[in-house]
Structure formats: structure tokens, C-alpha cells
Amino acid sequence: MSVAERPRYRIGIDVGGTFTDLVLVSTDTGAVVRRKELTTPEQPEVGIMRGLEDLVRDVPDALTGAEHIIHGTTLVINAVIERTGPPTALLTTRGFRDVLELRRHKRNEVYDIRGDHREPLIPRELRFEVSARLRSDGAELAPVDEDEIAAVAARLAELGVASVAVCYLHSYLRPDHERATRDILARVAPELSVSLSSDVLPELKEFERTSSTAINAYSRPLVSRYLTSLESRLAERGTRGRLLLMHSSGGVLSTETAKAFPVRIIESGPVAGVLAAVHAGRQAGEDDVIAFDMGGTTAKACVVSGGTVPMTNEFEVARMLRLRKGSGLPVGVEAVDLVEIGAGGGSIAAVNERGLLGVGPRSAGAEPGPAGYGRGGTEPTVTDADLVLGFVSADSFRRPGLHPDAGLAERAILARVGEPLGLSLHRAAFGIHDIVNENMAAAISSYLAERGVDRTKRTLVASGGAGPVHAYGLARKLGIGRVIVPYAAGLASALGFMVAPVSYLASRALRVRFDAVSPAEVFATRQELADEVSDALELAAPGREVRLHAEIDACYSGQDYAVPLDLCERPEELTAQWVRQAFDAAYSRQYGYTYDDVPLDLVRVRVRGEAVDRGVPWSGTAAATVAGTATTGTRPAYDLATNEWAEFAVVVGDLLPEGTTVPGPCIIEQAETSVVAGSDATVVRLAGGHFLIEIS
């Protein structure tokens, strides 16, 4: 390939609830071109193509010269929350029809007799029992009955079912029955989309496995249709680069894999913001940070230690109660361990039936958006309050499709909050701003306390369109003295895609006593998983070198929580002594003690793979060379440090030279967000285009 033909760019696209963010990064220089478009909720690809056409106007070869287009989407999580998926059925072993409602049969709040949970995605009338059954050791008790499956398929056709989840007892040990069912359905009902639990999540725990497979089946037709449409539009536009999808554990994968396993991309948008925070923190010399991302619809937070992003395979989506564990739908796939909060710039403020002001979780979204956007919204939002308080200006929202008007924001706040509560316009606006900060501080405090993290010794890294506006006030509530705002923070998730590796994880449960397991069996499983990972990576990054890392999970016999151990290189090294020493060291680090007289169980084998890639770190160098040229004047805004109005210096962030210090109160304006700091703080422009807020 000649130099002229070599791909020159990577494009990141993050579709949020309110805005679609796009960045183009040069693979040679790291230079960034940024765009922000209103999201088109009914057809997200329309907003994407509109933004790409805007990019092409400035960079004519943006699409023809793109190596990758990396995309993060909220399509799956939104479908689950809003219940917009097609009719979906479940085929399961006789006696397990109600596992989605029985859940763990556990009360998460001791004194709450109501047990508020989300209704299952698949209603009872679409859950069917079949006679095929395996024993707990994988031996067959009853075979698959082809006539029985065909009869169920006929019933599914009558009911208009588009997708089916197949989840049989003990199929993680032996997938034969589920695969036989899939083959029968392919013959008698080829139009059905079929998801097998032995493919989606070959793990113990029937409820979690069934829930994850149900989510996969429910969202699969939507994701397949959407990605096929987007790929077609990109091809028509002459795009040469591959379309890749962000997955929930911080890497990217192929569209083929995403179409087959949409449950893996359920958190694809939020995790990219964490990667951007880690990158910005590392450039600023901070590896122990709290990544905080506040967009138009939700806020997210993640604690990062030593530059390592934490992972979990026990998280929930669509919780009935924001902070209550067990009230949502569990997802067993690996994901970045973060907390989501129903708070964003579009969160709606309202007076509840008790006469109290509340904010969120309802959001104005992109249609109609906050009242101040001038798109027909009449309910006051957090963004409207920030406009009234002077933290952002109407001019910062001027883009196609928006008609910003601070007067509309003022009238909405007075009508829905000020007059009902007997408050002035500015007190009502402050109440909205302060309550949303308090809600986020409470959720983040609980999240950090559960993980034993001292928040006062951390640096907050704030991104998202609303994150830098609220980071200063949030940090004061949390007792945090340092805040980093990354370069182009309003587009941080789209930039995070640039440093995301092409990666894939495969695992398989093997619940067995270590003294009864064959090392050869463990390594045979490892090889099968390695082949699966390599195949998935080849789809996303053809011809790339692949790095593999194998782990096993072990626990004390009878215990439910396992610890991961790096698997040794050769079968002969997998001795009882090696296992005990490795397990004791890992268990002691996590829990502080060990038991010498309790045998160990092998829970699962896991293989992670990553396609070798240098990544494309972005560069946010300042355009100005003379200090002071970036200051444009002052404007009145509310100072949270004194609870009084003050004149804030207004500075154009992209023109502020590196190393410049701006004393508070000040507002650093960027194209996509504003950095707000009160009179007890200073703002410093760092290398790489980042900003540091230091609060005294």
C-alpha cells in the first residue's frame, strides 16, 4: 500500500440520549476534528450520517481515508429500559418456566415486603417448557424431541414472536441440546432469531444466565437491523474502513459479533468515557482517579486505581430503584464496574405530590430537549437551570436544529418550580442545580464506600456535556480538591474509542473440585476458548497479531464468590500445590485471611484476547501563544463558594496557552461544554489540552 493509500484517520461516534458526538483523529499527528449533532432517537443512523457529512465538508477524505469507524451506542440499554424490542420467547427445561420471576428468591432489603423488581422482558405466556434435560454432570436424562420443538415453533409463529432465547438446565456443561434445538428451529422457522445460553453466557446460576440470554434475544433483531442499515449507508458513502462496536468491558469488536451478542454492547457508551478519563489522568500524572461523565440523560462514575479499570460480571440494568441492588435485570457478561445515575443536563425538575422539588430521572432527551433549546420543550431541566445561573450561555448551544433562548428556560423554571414553591427565579434555578449535584454525590459516595475508597485522596476526572459544568460543585460536596477536565470533554466518550483495544473475552464454567480435575481437561478448555477468541478478533482486526491471557476462577468448596488466578503455562505446572499457593495469595489480598482445611473448587476457565494495535492517542494543543488573549470579558454567574452572584471571567478554552493559570471565579468555554470554577478555585491549562481545577 502506498503512502497516499494508507488510512489516515480514525473516527469515533458516540450516540447518546440527547447528542451524537463525532471525532476524527489523524493517525499521524493525533489532531482532532470535533462535531456534535442532535440524536435522532427513532433512527440513530440518520443523526450519525448527518454528522459524518458535516465532517466531510471540512475533511473531504474523512470517510474514504478512515481506517476504523468505532461506534458506541445506547440502543441495547434503551431497548431494555423502554421495552421497545420485538415479541421474544423463552424455551427452557420443564420446571424452570418462572425462573425470571423467582429470581434469587432473596429479599435485598430486609424490611421491604414489596420486593420491587422490573417485570421480565419475556412475559409468562411466551415462556415454553420442553422435556429435554441434562443431569448436573452433563449426562443426558431426556433427549431433545424434534416434534415438541416444531410444535413450539408453530405456536411462536401464531403469536408473532421474532426472537427466542433457549436456556436449558446445565447447558453450560454440554451445549448439545441447545444446539440441536437451534438446528430444528432453523429448519422449521428460519425467520426466527435464536440466542443460546451456551453461547451467550456458558456459566453457572440459572437466573443470571437466563436473564442475560433473554436480554440478548430481546435486543438482537433491533441491533442487527440497525447495524445492517448503518453499514449500508456507510458503504454507499464510499467508506473503506471497518465499523467496530465498543463493548461493555472496554474494548471494541466486529459488527458480526455485536449482531450475534448484543448483550455484550449493553454498556458500550459509558465505558468509553472511563477510558478517556484514564488517558487524561495518565497524561496529567494521576493514576488514581474517579472518572465522572455527565451527559444529557445520565451520569456515570467509576473508580480507577493504578490506571487499571475495574471489571465486574455482576451488574444490573434498568433498576426499579436507583440505588437498590436486586431491583434491576442482572447481566452476567463482563463489564466495567461503574455506577449509573439518572442525572443529566436534560433531567427534568418538578414539584412532587409532597410539595418537594425533585430532579430526574425523567429526561427531556433530544426530543424536545430542554426548554432553552427552543425546540418546543416546556419542562425545566438541569441545563435550563445552568443557563439561568450563568454557567453556560445560550450562544454555546447554537448549532443546526437548536434555537437557544434563555428566556424560555426562565419561564419554564418559574412556571413549574418557582411559582409552585414560592421561590424567585434564581433560587429555583439554584435548587435544581444543587439537588442534582446532591443526588450524584450521594450515589457516588455509596459506590465508593462499598469499595473501601477514600474519595478525599482521589482526583475527579469530569467529562460529558454537563460534567465540567457540575464537576466543581460536585467535588465540593465530595470533599475532593482536584478536578481534571479532559481536552474536548464534551466529546470524551467518542475520544475514548481511540484508545480502546480490539478485544474479546470467552469463558466456560467448570464447577468441580480441584483434586478431581484433570489438568489436560483444563488446558483443552483453554485451547477451545483461545480459538473462539482468535476467531472473534480476526473478524474485527484481520491479520493482526493476537495476545491471549488465560485465567481460572477458584473458590472454597461451598462458597459462591470466586477469585481469579492467572493460569500457568503448561499442564504439568497445574499441581495441587501451585493452585493452593496461588489461591491463598489472591484470597488473602482480597479478604485478609485464608482457610487451610477447606478444599478448593475450579469455577471457570477464561481467556482474554487483544489484537495488537498502537492506538491513536489524541492531541489537544492550545492554539494561542500569548497569555491573556483568550479572555473575552466577564458575565454574572452564581458563585457556589459564597452563595452569591459574582462577575466570572470568561475564557475561550481552546485559545488558552499551556501552563496558564486563571483565578476563580471563572468560566472556561469550549465548543461542547463549559468548565466552571468558583472564587475558592483556580484553573490551570495542562499539557495535552486538559484543565486542572484546584479547590482551596
Please state the rounded mean pLDDT for residues 378-391: 94
- Do 429 and 511 share a domain, yes or no? no
Could you read off the pLDDT of 482-491 as tens digits, one per residue? Answer: 999 999 888 8
Could you read off the pLDDT of 191-202 as tens digits, one per residue? Answer: 999 999 999 999
Put residue 355 in one of left, alpha, beta given phi > 0 → left and psi -120 to 50 → alpha.
left
Please state the rounded mean pLDDT for residues 424-438: 95
What's the rounded Cα separation, in Å, for the pair 402 and 465?
Answer: 15
Among 105-109, 122-126, 189-193, where is mean pLDDT lowest? 105-109
User: Of all helices (H) and strands (E), which one includes residue 340?
Assistant: strand 339-341
- Do 419 and 511 share a domain, yes or no? no
Residue 91 inside a domain? The answer is: yes
| pLDDT score of 104 more than 90 | no
Residue 687 inside a domain? The answer is: no
The pLDDT value recorded for residue 511 is 74
What's the rounded Cα separation, in Å, for the pair 15 and 34?
Answer: 14
The pLDDT value recorded for residue 73 is 87
| pLDDT score of 645 more than 90 | yes
Residue 471 inside a domain? The answer is: no
- Do 89 and 178 share a domain, yes or no? yes
**Whole domain around residue 172: which residue ranges?**
81-224
User: Of all helices (H) and strands (E), which one includes residue 195?
Assistant: strand 193-196
End-to-end CA distance of the chain: 55
- Percent of the chain past pLDDT 70, that is, above it, reads 93
Kindly give the interhelix angle for 467-478 and 425-450, rounded to the nearest 10 degrees.
70
What's the rounded Cα separation, in Å, for the pair 148 and 156?
Answer: 12
Q: What are the grid coordinates assigned to 46, written together?
A: 440518520
- Do 92 and 198 share a domain, yes or no? yes
The pLDDT value recorded for residue 96 is 93
Specify the 3-state DSSP secondary structure of 208.
helix
Q: Count of domains in the chain?
A: 3
Q: Which residues of 398-434 are buried (b: 16+ CB within 10 A; e: fewer)?
A: eeeebebbbebbbbbbbebbbeeeebebbebbbbbbb
- Do 89 and 174 share a domain, yes or no? yes
- Do 95 and 203 share a domain, yes or no? yes
Cis before 361 (ω within 30):
yes
Specify the 3-state DSSP secondary structure of 397.
helix
- Do 114 and 192 share a domain, yes or no? yes
| pLDDT score of 410 more than 90 | yes
User: Of all helices (H) and strands (E), which one includes residue 583?
Assistant: helix 576-591
Phi, psi angle pair for 264, to nearest 5°: -75, -15
Phi, psi angle pair for 429, to nearest 5°: -65, -45
Please state the rounded mean pLDDT for residues 69-77: 88
Residue 592 inside a domain? The answer is: yes
The pLDDT value recorded for residue 326 is 61
Assign 351 a pLDDT band (cuts: 50, 70, 90).
Answer: very high
- Output the average pLDDT for the chain: 88
| pLDDT score of 328 more than 80 | no
Pairing between β-strand 482-485 and β-strand 691-695 as defined by DSSP bridges? antiparallel
Residue that is last in its domain, among 409, 434, 459: 434
**When comparing pLDDT for 366 and 258, which is higher?**
258
Number of Cβ atoms within 10 Å of the Cβ of 357 = 18
The pLDDT value recorded for residue 606 is 92
Which regions of 570-643 does DSSP assign to beta strands (E)?
Answer: 600-611, 631-639
Please state the rounded mean pLDDT for residues 29-38: 86
Cβ-contact 651, 630 below 8 angstroms: yes
Residue 14 inside a domain? The answer is: no
- Percent of the chain past pLDDT 90, that is, above it, reads 52
| pLDDT score of 232 more than 90 | yes
Cis before 87 (ω within 30):
no
The pLDDT value recorded for residue 623 is 46
Cis before 368 (ω within 30):
yes
Distances (CA, A) of 137 to 133, 170, 502, 527: 12, 8, 35, 21
What CATH number is associated with residue 107?
Answer: 3.40.1360
Residue 318 inside a domain? The answer is: no
The pLDDT value recorded for residue 321 is 59
Cβ-contact 479, 571 below 8 angstroms: no
- 461 closest CA partner among 681, 256, 675: 675
The pLDDT value recorded for residue 625 is 44
Assign 626 a pLDDT band (cuts: 50, 70, 90).
Answer: very low
The pLDDT value recorded for residue 264 is 93
The DSSP-derived string for 133-173 is EE-TTS-EEE---HHHHHHHHHHHHHTT--EEEEE-TTTTT
Number of Cβ atoms within 10 Å of the Cβ of 46 = 17
- Do 600 and 508 share a domain, yes or no? yes
Could you read off the pLDDT of 509-543 as tens digits, one per residue? Answer: 887 888 888 889 899 999 999 999 999 999 888 88
Which regions of 405-524 does DSSP assign to beta strands (E)?
Answer: 459-463, 482-485, 502-513
Residue that is last in its domain, among 378, 408, 434: 434
- Do 415 and 513 share a domain, yes or no? no
The pLDDT value recorded for residue 643 is 93
- Do 216 and 107 share a domain, yes or no? yes
Neighbouring residues of 559: CB distance < 8 A, sequence distance ≥ 6: 601
- Do 418 and 514 share a domain, yes or no? no
Assign 622 a pLDDT band (cuts: 50, 70, 90).
Answer: very low
Residue 85 CA neighbour count, 13 Å, CB half = 31
The pLDDT value recorded for residue 110 is 66
| pLDDT score of 105 more than 60 | yes
What CATH number is associated with residue 507?
Answer: 3.30.1490
Among 9-13, 78-82, 605-609, where is mean pLDDT lowest? 78-82
Q: What are the grid coordinates assigned to 619, written together?
A: 492531541
Residue 640 inside a domain? The answer is: no
The pLDDT value recorded for residue 470 is 96
Residue 168 inside a domain? The answer is: yes
User: Of all helices (H) and strands (E), which one includes residue 196?
Assistant: strand 193-196
- Do 412 and 525 share a domain, yes or no? no
Could you read off the pLDDT of 298-325 as tens digits, one per residue? Answer: 889 999 999 988 888 877 776 655 556 6
| pLDDT score of 366 more than 80 | no
Please state the rounded mean pLDDT for residues 221-245: 92
Q: Which residues are 637's β-sheet partners?
A: 646
Residue that is last in its domain, among 191, 224, 257: 224
Cβ-contact 658, 538 below 8 angstroms: no
Given strand 339-341, what is the order of strands in its sheet? 339-341, 299-304, 289-294, 459-463, 482-485, 691-695, 681-685, 661-663
